[in-house]
Chains A and B, each alone.
Chain A
């Protein structure tokens, strides 16, 4: 029996328009040959730019933007769909192959009720009548663990949570009884505790409906839970292909080995030291509201050390950063910094307060002015705080660039010419330029690929050892916390539920929330998902 889907020597190209240069064709995917049998799940894994999504969408013969499928064969149910005419493609999209996008929140039409969207494909292709399709949707809502399946479809997308939308999108993909579903990073945008529920729901739905799937993700631990086979991709080429067990227990290629063993940093907790930052009984709320986003938060950060603040979205971690920087004055409580009490309001702070407390953000590309060169960006705090000008300033910028391992030649470049990791390094150099005592790092590695993120973390630790700067490190990722923290504060709904040295915090017995959070971080072994779900004490907050 032929396979359901087979790529033969697939080649995908696009035209790139680099600034100031003539457009040129770039090869996104080259020489990919792989197949998916009926009812099987193939995991596509790789870093951003590896071509995972591009390959996934090519299973519907769809190229995003100017992407062109230029070579090879895409055999779906025995026929080549590459180069098929528009009418033929419309007939197979949504009928034979369906798609689950990364951000269900953006992939649902905000103006339509969920039911209308979930059964749209089924009705459009005449697969079922309306009553039958609605009944199937309700059945799928129930199977995917959505609350009140009977009435769920009457809601609008903004009325349900992100985790629920992701499940609704899975229901939308399964409703027309397709042969193949493409899951494009379906859990990446979710909190870990929500991710695990959605992952379990998807896995069960795949098993019960017997549908085949392409499961795209950058997280090897996640794909190990749902796939039968894994294809590792890099720069659009196949690196390694094999069963899940082969890939995660006995990877052959060096790149796969690096992916499997990522987070190689071994950081030991530093001994107690006097605090550089002391946050005492902070309560905060946003203007015009009565809801306390932070409730009675007290934490200390020893000089030259790292305090990791972990929690899910909405737990108040970024608000804590806003309070410390003075962007959101606290309603109650006191912040002492370097032996003095900080004014709650930004306007009441001295220039030294500002200089000694710097910040690095998650999205490095929007934290820099795209029309300024790296030299101007890093030079600005040098001029503002130290009055450096001309050659002295340029020399100092170059020193800082050396410190972040970017060397010569970058000083006159623009942010658009840098990779994601390099942009984040420039932001680090800009923060360092002020010679701060404390840098607040807000999810600085969350948007980066694991290997690149690893490099950034190593650099941060390195700089800490040399400059003695303290970090308040905000993250939702526990692996990052393990790698970098000396002290940890676990936040849940605006409160610190667990706080102490890293070893203490990460040693049982845990409170219920920390237990949920720790157990939800995917581990790279087969059967982990089932094991965790069997031992849970508490429902995740996202439901």
Chain B
């Protein structure tokens, strides 16, 4: 087998193993929570018989291991179970919201990743001079703002001072792509502001690190211009650290944006999770937790694979 293929297969296998471990952890974590689901559904005034009946119906009397494997088996066959609070099918509820989450995350990523890398390259090109300081200053101030402050600031600016957007980002099934895009414009702007600095700083640092190499001097002595040197000779060797930070931010865009969702009333996975945590609806919490973990692990495997592919030593062994 080609060594790269072997490495990739290894990474994926490790990822699956990790996911299994996470599922165990999530299940054990929710198991360890104090209190009783049946009690919390029926309230303090429930009769002992009612409680016992409900426990029986929910399968809470079975041993934990049996319930874990039932749960896992269900998920593997696409059955996430039903929500305790409203009896809704969890898979269905998640499906639509996951779409919204991915739509928002993708929109923000498509703008922020190229922009951050470009700004990072420009900052590295003018290292220590005013464009570098300006870019670092602006992006660091936006990352320093808590998301909700940034969000309210953007809302005030773009709906009150210059009223071109709606302050809420409601999306419904049946909206056209363009309408959806307009609806998420404000949260996308906020998310771009939040994730830009991290990726830009890493691009700048990784490129500057490579700029110390002897082959950069070789390129300069060939008479190449500074931007050509950075683009052609520095960036290809700085890919690995940049990718890993980009992926961390992508993962954040998927799993960590609940505050922004709430501010803009955007109906996505984060809000769904928080709602059901408040209601102690454990099957929902477990399912969403597992999906978030899968996103995280999947994206990190992707980063590993890209880093491996970016390394000519692995791509073209001796």
CB atoms of A62 and B236 under 8 A apart: no
Given A111-B237, A111-B312, A112-B236 in contact, is the A64-B224 Cβ separation under 8 Å? no
B141 within 8 A of A: no
Within the assembled complex, what's the spacing in Å between the Cα atoms of A103 and B218?
Answer: 11
CB atoms of B318 and A90 under 8 A apart: no
Pick the contact of A60: B214, B221, B313 (CB < 8 A): B221
B219 within 8 A of A: yes
- Which residues from A are CB-within-8-Å of B217? 64, 101, 107
CB atoms of B215 and A121 under 8 A apart: no
B173 within 8 A of A: no
Within the assembled complex, what's the spacing in Å between the Cα atoms of A106 and B233?
Answer: 13
Closest residue of chain A to B228 (Cβ to Cβ) is: A124
> Could you pull out 14 A-B pairs where Cβ atoms are within 8 angstroms?
A64-B217, A90-B225, A94-B224, A98-B221, A103-B214, A107-B214, A108-B218, A109-B218, A109-B237, A110-B237, A111-B236, A111-B312, A112-B232, A158-B318
B316 within 8 A of A: yes
- Which residues from B are CB-within-8-Å of A106? 213-215
- Which residues from B are CB-within-8-Å of A62? 220-221
CB atoms of B222 and A93 under 8 A apart: yes
B223 within 8 A of A: yes
Residues of A98-143 at the interface with B, using a CB-CB cut-off of 8 Å, are 98-99, 101, 103, 106-112, 120-121, 124-125
CB atoms of A93 and B223 under 8 A apart: yes
Closest residue of chain A to B236 (Cβ to Cβ) is: A111
CB atoms of B218 and A124 under 8 A apart: no
- Which residues from A are CB-within-8-Å of B310? 111
- Kindly provide the distance from the CB of A127 to the nearest chain B CB, expressed in whole angstroms: 11
Within the assembled complex, what's the spacing in Å between the Cα atoms of A62 and B215?
Answer: 15
Q: How large is the interface on B (under 10, 10 to 19, 20 to 34, 35 or more residues)?
A: 20 to 34
- Which residues from A are CB-within-8-Å of B214? 101, 103, 106-107
Within the assembled complex, what's the spacing in Å between the Cα atoms of A274 and B214?
Answer: 50
Closest residue of chain B to A121 (Cβ to Cβ) is: B222
Pick the contact of A121: B223, B233, B318 (CB < 8 A): B223
CB atoms of B221 and A124 under 8 A apart: no
- Kindly provide the distance from the CB of A369 to the nearest chain B CB, expressed in whole angstroms: 24
A156 within 8 A of B: yes
- Which residues from A are CB-within-8-Å of B236? 109, 111-112
Residues of B296-318 at the interface with A, using a CB-CB cut-off of 8 Å, are 310, 312-313, 316, 318
- Which residues from B are CB-within-8-Å of A112? 232-233, 236
Size of interface on A: residues with Cβ below 8 Å to B: 29
CB atoms of B218 and A99 under 8 A apart: yes
Within the assembled complex, what's the spacing in Å between the Cα atoms of A52 and B233?
Answer: 27
- Which residues from A are CB-within-8-Å of B224? 90, 94, 120, 124
CB atoms of B316 and A156 under 8 A apart: yes
- Kindly provide the distance from the CB of A57 to the nearest chain B CB, expressed in whole angstroms: 8
CB atoms of A92 and B218 under 8 A apart: no
Within the assembled complex, what's the spacing in Å between the Cα atoms of A99 and B224?
Answer: 14
CB atoms of A94 and B237 under 8 A apart: no
Closest residue of chain A to B310 (Cβ to Cβ) is: A111
Within the assembled complex, what's the spacing in Å between the Cα atoms of A64 and B313?
Answer: 29
B residues adjacent to A (C-beta < 8 A): 213-215, 217-225, 228, 232-233, 236-237, 310, 312-313, 316, 318
A159 within 8 A of B: yes
Pick the contact of A124: B222, B233, B318 (CB < 8 A): B222
A465 within 8 A of B: no
Q: A120-B224, A156-B316 are in contact. List 4 more A-B contacts (CB 8 A).
A: A93-B220, A93-B222, A110-B237, A112-B236
A91 within 8 A of B: yes
CB atoms of A110 and B313 under 8 A apart: yes
Within the assembled complex, what's the spacing in Å between the Cα atoms of A89 and B222?
Answer: 10
Within the assembled complex, what's the spacing in Å between the Cα atoms of A135 and B318?
Answer: 25
A423 within 8 A of B: no
CB atoms of A109 and B221 under 8 A apart: no
A425 within 8 A of B: no
Within the assembled complex, what's the spacing in Å between the Cα atoms of A335 and B309?
Answer: 45
- Kindly provide the distance from the CB of A506 to the nearest chain B CB, expressed in whole angstroms: 36
Within the assembled complex, what's the spacing in Å between the Cα atoms of A125 and B222?
Answer: 9
Among A64, A89, A124, max chain B CB count under 10 A is at A124
- Which residues from B are CB-within-8-Å of A98? 221-222
CB atoms of B318 and A159 under 8 A apart: yes
- Which residues from A are CB-within-8-Å of B232? 112
- Kindly provide the distance from the CB of B227 to the nearest chain A CB, expressed in whole angstroms: 12
A95 within 8 A of B: yes
Given A110-B312, A111-B237 in contact, is the A99-B221 Cβ separation under 8 Å? yes
- Which residues from A are CB-within-8-Å of B313? 110, 156, 158
CB atoms of A109 and B215 under 8 A apart: yes
CB atoms of A95 and B218 under 8 A apart: no
- Kindly provide the distance from the CB of B251 to the nearest chain A CB, expressed in whole angstroms: 26
- Which residues from A are CB-within-8-Å of B225? 90
CB atoms of B218 and A107 under 8 A apart: yes
Given A101-B214, A106-B215, A111-B237 in contact, is the A158-B312 Cβ separation under 8 Å? yes
A77-102 toward B: CB 8 Å interface, digit per residue (1/0)? 00000000000011111110011010
Within the assembled complex, what's the spacing in Å between the Cα atoms of A111 and B312?
Answer: 6
- Kindly provide the distance from the CB of B207 to the nearest chain A CB, expressed in whole angstroms: 13
Within the assembled complex, what's the spacing in Å between the Cα atoms of A194 and B220?
Answer: 28
- Which residues from B are CB-within-8-Å of A156? 312-313, 316
CB atoms of A101 and B237 under 8 A apart: no
Within the assembled complex, what's the spacing in Å between the Cα atoms of A60 and B220?
Answer: 11
8 smallest beta-carbon distances between A and B, as pairs: A94-B223, A93-B223, A106-B214, A111-B236, A94-B222, A121-B222, A90-B223, A109-B215
- Kindly provide the distance from the CB of A91 to the nearest chain B CB, expressed in whole angstroms: 7
- Kindly provide the distance from the CB of A47 to the nearest chain B CB, expressed in whole angstroms: 22
Given A156-B312, A158-B318, A159-B318 in contact, is the A109-B233 Cβ separation under 8 Å? yes
Within the assembled complex, what's the spacing in Å between the Cα atoms of A109 and B316?
Answer: 15
CB atoms of B223 and A91 under 8 A apart: yes
- Which residues from B are CB-within-8-Å of A60? 221
- Which residues from A are CB-within-8-Å of B318? 158-159
Closest residue of chain B to A89 (Cβ to Cβ) is: B223
- Which residues from A are CB-within-8-Å of B312? 110-111, 156, 158
CB atoms of B215 and A94 under 8 A apart: no
- Which residues from B are CB-within-8-Å of A64? 217
- Which residues from B are CB-within-8-Å of A109? 215, 218-219, 233, 236-237
Closest residue of chain B to A156 (Cβ to Cβ) is: B312
- Kindly provide the distance from the CB of A63 to the nearest chain B CB, expressed in whole angstroms: 11
